[in-house]
Amino acid sequence: MTIQLLAQMMTVAPNATTAPCDAFDSFIRTSGAVQNGHIEANRIDILGFAVGKLVGSHAMRCIWADLSDAERVYHDTEWGVVTREERRLFELLVLRGAQAGLAWRTVLAKRDGYREVFLDYDIAAIAALGDDDMSRIGRDRRIIRHRLKVASVRHNARAVLRLAQSEGPLGEFLWSFVNGEPVRNAWKRHDDVPLRTSCSDRMSDALRKYGFQYAGTAICYALMQSAGMVHDHETGCFRYGCS
């Protein structure tokens, strides 16, 4: 994979100065760097190097993204990119819930572990897990071993199934809060970016109605940002205006 990424980087990089978004997005789409909707941990270093070559090692980013390599790669390749796929949205709900009280880079470091432990986010399979399964999972070092956060994954999987019976698929339900289209903001400074909005308030209230846990308004807004429901890259970020 290292050789493939570097080869792809070299074919795209010459265009980066004239069309940075197009060149970068083309690289991400065709390189195979994103697997199952996210970057796997063992690809972060080489992808980070490739990204640096494409956009420059001193490219301006949203300020939160420069705290670690994992956050830089996540910001550059995933954050704010539109996703409507149910498993991917459920993953974001799980991970953003796990983040409560922790740094995002801590969660990203455990991301592959979550995917392995929670059955590649097969919602029906997670909902069917027994108490013995959950007890075992709660001791697994590959994830954040917080009893309530771990229990909420199965609880929320079951809530998704209940929601589907009356509202339809999770993706359609979540995207309905922005009328199916991304909200494009134009924040000049990191301090301008909100932690919640009236839209995330409504989403949180609706999810809690169906029994979702770890679905407060701040968690919902972080999910909306991650899934591209709102475009919150700062105007000085090289990803601002990109799809």
Helix then strand then coil, in percent of the chain rounded to 5, is 60, 5, 35
pTM strictly above 0.85 = no
Express each pLDDT in 162-177 by its tens digit.
999 999 999 999 999 9
Residue 210: φ, ψ to 5°? -95, 10
- Tell me what pLDDT residue 27 has: 56
Average pLDDT over residues 210-236: 97
| Residue 108 banded pLDDT, cuts 50, 70, 90 | very high
Tell me how far CA of residue 211 lies from CA of 122, 161, 208, in angstroms. Answer: 19, 11, 5
Express each pLDDT in 78-101 by its tens digit.
999 999 999 999 999 999 999 999
Can you read off the two tokens belonging to residue 27?
Answer: 């690289």
pLDDT for residue 201 is more than 70: yes
